[in-house]
Chain A
Amino acid sequence: MFKKNLKKNNVFVTYAIVVVAYIVVEALLLTGNMSSLMQGLLVPLCTYSLCAVGLNLCVGYLGELSLGHAGFMCIGAFSSAFFSVVMQDAITNSIVRFIIALIIGTAFAALFGFLIAIPVLRLNGDYLAIVTLAFGEIIKNVVNVLYIGYDSTGWHISISSQQALGLAEDGTMVINGAQGITGTPHDSSFTIGVILIIIALIIVHNLTNSRTGRAVMSIRDNQIAAESVGINVKKYKLLAFTISAAIAGSAGVLYAHNLSTLTALPKNFGYNMSIMILVFVVLGGIGNFRGSVIAACILTLLPELLRGLSDYRMLIYAIVLIAMMLFNWAPAAIVWRQKLKAKFKKTGEEA
Chain B
Amino acid sequence: MALLSVKGLGISFGGLRAVDKFNINIEKGQLYGLIGPNGAGKTTVFNMLTGVYKPTDGTIMLDGKDITGKTNIEINREGIARTFQNIRLFKEQTVLDNVKIGLHNRYKYSTLDGILRTPKYHRVEKEMDEKAIELLKVFDLDNEANVLSSNLPYGKQRKLEIARALATDPVLLLLDEPAAGMNPKETEELMETIRFVRDNFDMTVLLIEHDMKLVSGICEELTVLNFGEVLAAGKTTDVLNNPEVIKAYIGE
Interface set, chain A 225-239, CB cutoff 8 A to B: 225-233, 239
Question: Is B100's CB under 8 angstroms from A214's CB?
Answer: yes
- CB neighbours (8 Å) of B52 from chain A are 224, 227
Judged by a CB distance under 8 angstroms, whether B227 is at the interface is no
Question: Is A218's CB under 8 angstroms from B101's CB?
Answer: yes
- CB neighbours (8 Å) of B108 from chain A are 211
Question: Is B167's CB under 8 angstroms from A229's CB?
Answer: yes
Q: Take A227-B73, A232-B73 as given contacts and tell me if A207 and B92 are in contact as well, using a CB distance cutoff of 8 Å.
A: no
Judged by a CB distance under 8 angstroms, whether B209 is at the interface is no
Judged by a CB distance under 8 angstroms, whether A278 is at the interface is no
Q: Take A229-B81, A229-B104, A229-B167 as given contacts and tell me if A221 and B115 are in contact as well, using a CB distance cutoff of 8 Å.
A: no
Judged by a CB distance under 8 angstroms, whether A4 is at the interface is yes
Give chain B nearest CB distance to A199 CB in angstroms.
Answer: 10
- CB neighbours (8 Å) of B113 from chain A are 210
Interface set, chain B 57-86, CB cutoff 8 A to A: 71-73, 76-77, 81-82, 84
> Which residue of A is nearest B84, CB measured?
A225
Question: Is B104's CB under 8 angstroms from A217's CB?
Answer: no
Which secondary structure dominates where chain A touches chain B? Answer: helix
Q: Take A2-B146, A207-B111, A210-B121 as given contacts and tell me if A226 and B89 are in contact as well, using a CB distance cutoff of 8 Å.
A: no
Judged by a CB distance under 8 angstroms, whether B50 is at the interface is yes
> Which residue of B is nearest A207, CB measured?
B115
Tell which of A218, A226, A228, A239 touches B82, judged by Cβ atoms closer than 8 Å: A228
Number of interface residues of A (CB under 8 A): 30
> Which residue of A is nearest B101, CB measured?
A218
Over the window 93-109 of chain B, the binary record of Cβ atoms lying under 8 Å from chain A Cβ atoms (1 yes, 0 no) is: 11001001110110111
Give chain A nearest CB distance to B25 CB in angstroms.
Answer: 24
Give chain A nearest CB distance to B129 CB in angstroms.
Answer: 9
Question: Is A211's CB under 8 angstroms from B81's CB?
Answer: no
- CB neighbours (8 Å) of A213 from chain B are 114
Most chain A CB neighbours (cut-off 10 Å) among B91, B108, B167: B91
> Which residue of B is nearest A214, CB measured?
B101
- CB neighbours (8 Å) of A3 from chain B are 94, 146
Judged by a CB distance under 8 angstroms, whether A212 is at the interface is yes
Give chain A nearest CB distance to B106 CB in angstroms.
Answer: 9
Question: Is A228's CB under 8 angstroms from B72's CB?
Answer: yes
Question: Is A229's CB under 8 angstroms from B76's CB?
Answer: yes
- CB neighbours (8 Å) of A221 from chain B are 89-93
> Which residue of B is nearest A202, CB measured?
B115
Give chain B nearest CB distance to A20 CB in angstroms.
Answer: 24
Question: Is B111's CB under 8 angstroms from A212's CB?
Answer: yes
Question: Is A211's CB under 8 angstroms from B104's CB?
Answer: yes
- CB neighbours (8 Å) of B50 from chain A are 228
> Which residue of A is nearest B80, CB measured?
A228
Give chain A nearest CB distance to B194 CB in angstroms.
Answer: 19
Question: Is B115's CB under 8 angstroms from A229's CB?
Answer: no
Judged by a CB distance under 8 angstroms, whether A124 is at the interface is no
Tell which of B73, B84, B168 touches A233, judged by Cβ atoms closer than 8 Å: B73
Interface set, chain A 170-214, CB cutoff 8 A to B: 203, 206-207, 209-214
Tell which of B73, B93, B114 touches A207, judged by Cβ atoms closer than 8 Å: B114
Question: Is A239's CB under 8 angstroms from B101's CB?
Answer: no
Question: Is B168's CB under 8 angstroms from A229's CB?
Answer: yes
Judged by a CB distance under 8 angstroms, whether A81 is at the interface is no
Over the window 142-167 of chain B, the binary record of Cβ atoms lying under 8 Å from chain A Cβ atoms (1 yes, 0 no) is: 00001000000000000000001101
Judged by a CB distance under 8 angstroms, whether B117 is at the interface is yes
Interface set, chain B 108-148, CB cutoff 8 A to A: 108-109, 111, 113-117, 121, 124-125, 128, 146
Q: Take A217-B92, A218-B90, A222-B90 as given contacts and tell me if A4 and B104 are in contact as well, using a CB distance cutoff of 8 Å.
A: no
Judged by a CB distance under 8 angstroms, whether B88 is at the interface is yes
> Which residue of A is nearest B117, CB measured?
A206
Judged by a CB distance under 8 angstroms, whether A1 is at the interface is yes
Give the CA-CA distance A221 to B88 in the complex, in Å: 9
Tell which of B94, B124, B125, B165 touches A229, judged by Cβ atoms closer than 8 Å: B165
Judged by a CB distance under 8 angstroms, whether A62 is at the interface is no
Give chain A nearest CB distance to B75 CB in angstroms.
Answer: 9
Tell which of A211, A222, A232, A239 touches B89, judged by Cβ atoms closer than 8 Å: A222
Question: Is A228's CB under 8 angstroms from B81's CB?
Answer: yes
Give the CA-CA distance A233 to B105 in the complex, in Å: 13
Question: Is A228's CB under 8 angstroms from B90's CB?
Answer: no
Give the CA-CA distance A52 to B40 in the complex, in Å: 50
Known: A225-B90, A228-B50. 19 other contacts (CB 8 A): A207-B114, A210-B109, A210-B114, A210-B115, A211-B104, A211-B124, A212-B114, A214-B93, A214-B100, A217-B92, A221-B90, A221-B91, A221-B92, A224-B88, A226-B90, A227-B52, A228-B84, A229-B168, A233-B73
Please, could you name 18 A-B residue pairs with CB atoms under 8 Å apart, sorted by A? A4-B146, A206-B117, A209-B114, A210-B114, A210-B125, A211-B100, A211-B108, A211-B109, A215-B101, A218-B90, A218-B101, A222-B89, A222-B90, A224-B52, A228-B50, A228-B76, A229-B76, A229-B104
Interface, chain B (partner A; CB < 8 A):
50, 52, 71-73, 76-77, 81-82, 84, 88-94, 97, 100-102, 104-105, 107-109, 111, 113-117, 121, 124-125, 128, 146, 164-165, 167-168
Q: What are the 4 A-B residue pairs with the smallest beta carbon separation, nearest first?
A: A210-B114, A230-B76, A225-B88, A221-B90
